[in-house]
């Protein structure tokens, strides 16, 4: 059976992990390829040892992706496969043709090494063993993937569900008693590499390999990296004149405000706010800090309150206090009410907790949901929780933005600046203006997510 959605043909199969892999490729293609939504992704063959897909940008050209699952590989592939058991994570090098240096990659589980005649290495171990390879078989290009790509990307983005049961995990942060999602990512990224974008790099390398395999006809092209900026503000019952002061400092830069259920805003004040900046998005700032076990009920009540105040349902949310419940359990409420996006993972000082600076669809129960998440990389908590000066915090943002410009893929920097704190963080606000002046594209959270949806 086949289904068509957003221009990409997807063959639905009984193997859930194979269906999920095809769906993830469909979602990810639009992040890295111009016209990625026009690719056709079809299943050719699958077994316990491999999944073979054919990627077709047009009726003439195609590339076959073979994701390895075991050592028992058909002779027609002309390769030998051996499992490499890791103690901890595997350090690998991505051999990119579009970068002056190799990508330093890390797989989170056992992987397979590949040997065979005329194999062009795409990913290697530090001792030279080939882990991803390209090989031409009877004039057709095959790309063999020896890492557990699907597992790696989802775990990097969403963390480890097994951390929920671990009694040794500290679930609160920075002196606040409530649970935050950060503990889900413990044991995923190396402590010395908390600013890496492993999920983005693995995905980008896959599509760069695909693009270079079709480079002769230029039928698909990698996106030229664009860096986006999303300024958010948690309402937290801020005085209304603080909104006015913040908007004066931001000088019309698009802003996403998350309204607290006890906000001081009224319909009239929101109307006045919208006249100060034509690109203000209003999202919900659900508060269940005092009754975290009642989140579902409170969220329902607060959604109703928001829709009456604003006149529409919220497209985006961030929980008050970045409240979390286990492995993405709050997402059930978000999905129930059609909330499209969240930025509920707290990086604070630039730590890329989710190993990605791009919006990604949540994968729950082996299915891709319609909800997109992205890390909040920075917040004015640098000044209040980490005791930086305003100048130190703003310089941290500037330095981070310079690193983003050197990256291979698009990225989005989400920074949270509370309106109530505006008088204590003027330099952070000035840093935001500098980023826009230097070429960062400002946008709201919902607009960012829409830019990367497959239909676009």
Q: Residues 135, 93: contact at Cβ < 8 Å?
A: no
Mean of pLDDT over the chain: 89
Q: What are phi and psi of 250, to 5 degrees?
A: -80, -15
pLDDT at 6 exceeding the cut of 60: no
326, two tokens: 């286990």
CA distance 73 to 393: 53
Whether the Cβ atoms of residue 289 and residue 178 lie closer than 8 Å to each other: yes
**Residue 335's pLDDT is what?**
98
pTM: 0.92
Mean local confidence (pLDDT), 263-271: 98
Instruction: Read off the pLDDT band of 172 (50, 70, 90).
Output: low
pLDDT at 361: 94
The pLDDT-based confidence of 248 (bands split at 50, 70, 90) is very high
Stated as kind and residue range, the H or E segment containing 270 is helix 267-276
- For the cut 80, the answer to whether the pLDDT of residue 177 exceeds it is no
pLDDT band at residue 32, thresholds of 50, 70 and 90? confident
Q: What per-residue confidence (pLDDT) applies to 257?
A: 98
- Taking each helix axis from N to C terminus, what angle separates 198-213 and 16-32, rounded to the nearest 10 degrees? 80
Name the residue among 155, 172, 161 with its Cα closest to residue 354.
155
Cβ contact 17:24 at 8 Å: no
The pLDDT score that the predictor gives to residue 455 is 56
313 close to 143: Cβ distance less than 8 angstroms: no
Of 87, 145, 141, the C-alpha closest to 112 is 145
Name the residue with higher pLDDT: 376 or 96: 376
Inform me whether the pLDDT recorded for 38 exceeds 70: no
Whether 256 contacts 448, CB under 8 Å: no
Instruction: Give all strands (DSSP E) within 85-137, no chain letters.
Output: 90-94, 103-107, 111-115, 120-125, 130-137
- The residue among 149, 164, 108, 152 whose CA lies nearest residue 328 is 164
Q: Which residue has the higher pLDDT, 169 or 30?
A: 30
More confident call, 167 vs 71: 71
pLDDT tens sequence across 142-164: 999 999 999 999 999 999 999 99
Q: Which pLDDT value is given to residue 191?
A: 82
**Quick one: pLDDT band at residue 167, thresholds 50, 70, 90?**
low
Q: Which helix (H) or strand (E) holds 282?
A: strand 280-284
* 346 pLDDT more than 60: yes
The CATH topology of domain 227-451 is: TIM Barrel (3.20.20)
Mean local confidence (pLDDT), 384-410 = 94
Task: Check pLDDT > 70 for residue 327.
Answer: yes
Pairing of strands 50-56, 255-259: unpaired
- Mean pLDDT, residues 359-366: 94
Q: Check residue 433 and give its pLDDT.
A: 97
CA-based end-to-end distance of the chain: 25
Write the pLDDT tens digit of every residue in 405-444. 988 889 999 999 999 999 999 999 999 999 999 999 999 9
| Calpha distance 346→341 (Å, rounded) | 15
Ordered DSSP codes for 391-434 = HHHHHHHHHHHHHHHTSSS-EEEEEE--GGGGGG-HHHHHHHHH
| The residue count for the chain | 456
450 pLDDT band, cuts 50/70/90, is very high
Predicted confidence at residue 1, as pLDDT, reads 31
In sign, the C-alpha dihedral spanning 245, 250, 252, 257 is negative
Sign of the dihedral through C-alpha 60, 58, 222, 125: negative
Lowest mean pLDDT across 65-69, 166-170, 242-246, 319-323: 166-170
Task: Identify the pLDDT of residue 100.
Answer: 61
3-state secondary structure at position 381? helix
Is residue 7's pLDDT more than 60? Answer: no
- As a whole number, mean pLDDT of residues 231-242 equals 98
Q: What is the DSSP letter of 125?
A: E
Q: How many CB atoms lie within 10 A of CB 396?
A: 18
CATH 3.20.20.370 placement within the chain: 227-451
């Amino acid at each position: 059976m086949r289904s068509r959605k957003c221009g990409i043909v997807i063959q639905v199969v009984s193997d859930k992990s194979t269906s999920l892999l095809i769906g993830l490729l469909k979602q990810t293609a639009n992040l890295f390829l111009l016209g990625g939504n026009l690719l056709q992704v079809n299943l050719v063959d699958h077994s316990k040892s491999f999944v073979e897909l054919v990627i077709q940008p047009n009726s003439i050209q195609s590339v076959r992706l073979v994701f390895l699952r075991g050592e028992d590989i058909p002779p027609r592939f002309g390769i030998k496969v051996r499992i490499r058991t890791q103690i901890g994570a595997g350090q690998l090098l991505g051999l990119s043709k579009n970068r002056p240096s190799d990508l330093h990659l890390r797989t989170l589980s056992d992987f397979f090494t590949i040997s065979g005649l005329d194999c062009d290495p795409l990913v290697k171990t530090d001792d030279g063993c080939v882990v991803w390879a390209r090989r031409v078989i009877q004039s057709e290009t095959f790309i063999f993937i020896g890492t557990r790509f699907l597992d790696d990307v989802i775990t990097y983005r969403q963390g480890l569900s097994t951390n929920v049961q671990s009694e040794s995990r500290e679930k609160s942060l920075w002196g606040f008693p409530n649970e935050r999602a950060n503990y889900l990512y413990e044991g995923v990224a190396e402590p010395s590499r908390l600013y890496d974008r492993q999920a983005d790099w693995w995905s980008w390398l896959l599509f760069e390999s695909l693009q270079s395999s079709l480079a002769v006809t230029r039928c698909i092209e990698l996106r030229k990296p664009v860096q986006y900026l999303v300024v958010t503000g948690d309402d937290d019952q801020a005085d209304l004149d603080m909104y006015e002061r913040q908007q004066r400092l931001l000088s019309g830069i698009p802003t996403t405000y998350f309204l607290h259920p006890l906000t001081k805003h009224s319909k009239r004040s929101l109307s006045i706010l919208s006249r100060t900046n034509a690109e203000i998005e209003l999202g919900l700032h659900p508060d269940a800090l005092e009754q975290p076990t009642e989140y579902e009920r409170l969220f329902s009540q607060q959604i109703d309150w928001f829709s009456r105040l604003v006149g529409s349902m919220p497209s985006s949310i961030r929980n008050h206090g970045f409240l979390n419940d286990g492995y993405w359990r709050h997402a059930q409420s978000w999905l129930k009410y059609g909330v499209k996006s969240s930025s509920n993972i707290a990086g604070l000082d630039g730590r890329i907790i989710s190993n990605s600076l791009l919006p990604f669809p949540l994968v729950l129960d082996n299915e891709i949901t319609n909800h997109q998440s992205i890390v909040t990389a920075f917040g004015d908590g640098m000044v209040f929780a980490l005791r930086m000066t305003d100048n130190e915090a703003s310089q941290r943002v500037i330095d981070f933005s310079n690193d983003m410009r050197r990256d291979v893929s698009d990225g989005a920097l989400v920074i949270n600046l509370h309106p109530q704190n505006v008088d204590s963080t003027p330099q952070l606000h000035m840093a935001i203006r500098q980023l826009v002046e230097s070429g960062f594209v400002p946008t709201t959270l919902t607009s960012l997510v829409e830019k990367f949806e497959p239909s676009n």
